[in-house]
Amino acid sequence: MSIFNYKQRNNIVLVSIIVLGCFLLYALSELFSSILGAIVLFTIFRPFYLWMVDKKNLNGTFAALIIIFISLIVIVIPFLSLSIMVIGKIGSINKDALPIDKWTAKIDAFTGSNLNQPHFAEDTLQKLGAYGADLFPSLLGSAASIIITLLVMYFLMYFMFTQMGAFESGLLKYAPFREQHALKFAQALRDSTYSNVLGQGIIAITQGVLLAMGFYAFQIPDAVFWGVIGVFLSFLPVVGAPTMCIPASIIFFANGQNLKGVLLLAYGLLFIGNVDNVLRVIINKRVGNTHPIISVIGVFIGLPLFGILGLVFGPVLLSYFLLLLEIYETNRLAADRLERIRTGPDT
């Protein structure tokens, strides 16, 4: 006969679940990028999967394989290729024809005489170099880790799609809130994922293309490379691709090409910057509104955890956290109302 009663046994089981759950989370911490990536891709491609299966009567396994192929071609391979290109370019930048030393000297002379900052360009380049080294190191140094991360991500996503009914039923069953709140959370999660991933991705690519076109028009070397840098910077709301035009304009001013400097500065800050604002308004209306503060804080949260992927995963994680807080607040208010009904009005 057990020395524990029913309630004590349940409490012991609950504590054991929590302890083992924490241990499993710690053990799976290296695969967190895979898990989060699978959730993001599942959320993005779920409507397309349902369209293929329900409307086109495709086999679920075949539809999942199509989605894996599309995501590889459209998202993963281009992202990795652009990142590798950036790393290679940064590594060989001193060997190219870019007159970096000349530009740095001119910018330092200009800022020294006008802004009392004689080492502005030199210090900025050093900081950017250190920042870039922290941001991109794993893409070339840990090829095996990247392959494992992608394999696990697609393995999880494959079963999320092929066993969608059981997967979503399990989420509803074990969700710590009512079904209507769970459905509301799922809708908000979809909107926040679309806004952070698809919306910000469209803005970043648009700004990068416009920046590359502008640099090419002003005959700045390696316009495509700087456009790719602009794509990554566009995920940083405080910085953004338009700020790339500021150092380029300073170089024009230092060379005595004042008209080019003014035109490039206006093109970047006025045209590219306003394109960002217009696209953001359209995306927020059609997809979901993500506050700029969430994007800024999310980026600073995500970069130390995921590297370059933190530009996307950080804001997504923060949005999910805020959604959970909203659901918790809703549940707490509902519980308070039920308690007042049960106990009756205070006398």
314 vs 281: which has the higher pLDDT: 314
Q: Which of 128, 298, 137 is nearest to 226 (CA)?
A: 128
Q: Which residues neighbour 201 within 8 Å (Cβ) at sequence distance 6 or greater?
A: 312
Q: For residue 140, is pLDDT > 70?
A: no
Percent of the chain with pLDDT over 70: 70
Buried b (16+ CB within 10 A) or exposed e, 304-339: eebbbbbbbbbbbbbbbeebeeebeebeeeeeeeee
Mean pLDDT of all residues in 151-170 = 89
pLDDT at 237 over 70: no
Query: Taking 90 as the threshold, does the pLDDT of residue 52 lie above it?
Result: yes
Q: Where are the beta strands (DSSP E) in the chain?
A: none
What per-residue confidence (pLDDT) applies to 80?
A: 72
Specify the long-range contacts of residues 249-256, CB closer than 8 Å, at least 24 apart: 250/107, 250/110, 250/111, 251/103, 251/106, 251/107, 252/218, 253/110, 254/103, 254/106, 254/107, 254/109, 254/110, 255/106
Question: 117 or 222: whose pLDDT is higher?
Answer: 222
Token pair recorded at residue 283: 């995306």
Share of the chain above pLDDT 90, in %: 10
Work out the average pLDDT over 25-30: 78
CA 215 to CA 222: how far, in whole Å? 8
Lookup result for tokens 């807080």: 325
> Per-residue pLDDT for 135 more than 60?
no
> What value does the mean pLDDT take over residues 153-176?
85
Question: Torsions phi, psi of 234, nearest 5?
Answer: -65, -20
Q: What is the pLDDT of residues 63-94, one digit of tens each?
A: 999 999 998 888 777 777 776 766 666 655 55
HSE-up of 154 (CA within 13 Å, CB side)?
Answer: 17
Task: Please give the pLDDT value at position 131.
Answer: 56
90-104 confidence digits (pLDDT tens): 655 554 445 566 666
Amino acid identity for residue 175 in this structure: A
Least reliable range by pLDDT among 2-6, 48-52, 170-174: 2-6
pLDDT at 97: 47
**Segment 35-50, tens digit of pLDDT:** 888 888 898 899 999 9
How much of the chain is in helix, strand and coil states, percent to nearest 5?
85, 0, 15
Instruction: Return the number of other C-beta atoms located less than 10 Å from residue 204's C-beta.
Output: 22
- What gap in Å lies between CA 114 and CA 117, rounded to an integer? 8
Residue 331 pLDDT > 80: no
Burial class for 267, CB neighbours closer than 10 Å (0-12, 13-18, 19+)? buried
Highest-pLDDT range among 51-55, 71-75, 268-272: 51-55
pLDDT band at 136 (very low <50, low <70, confident <90, very high): low
Task: Out of 52-56, 142-146, 175-179, 245-249, give the one with best mean pLDDT.
Answer: 52-56
pTM of model > 0.85: no
Burial zone of 288 (CB within 10 Å; 0-12 exposed, 13-18 middle, 19+ buried):
buried
More confident residue, 325 or 98: 325
Write the DSSP symbol of residue 307.
G
- Would you give the end-to-end CA distance of the chain in angstroms? 47
Do 192 and 319 touch, CB atoms closer than 8 A? yes
What pLDDT shows up at residue 183? 73
What is the structure's pLDDT at 63?
92
Q: Which of 52-61, 86-95, 199-208 has the highest mean pLDDT?
A: 52-61
Residue 312 corresponds to which tokens in the numbers above? 């996307």
d(CA 67, CA 71): 6
Q: Which amino acid is at 310?
A: G
Secondary structure class of 119 (helix, strand, coil): coil
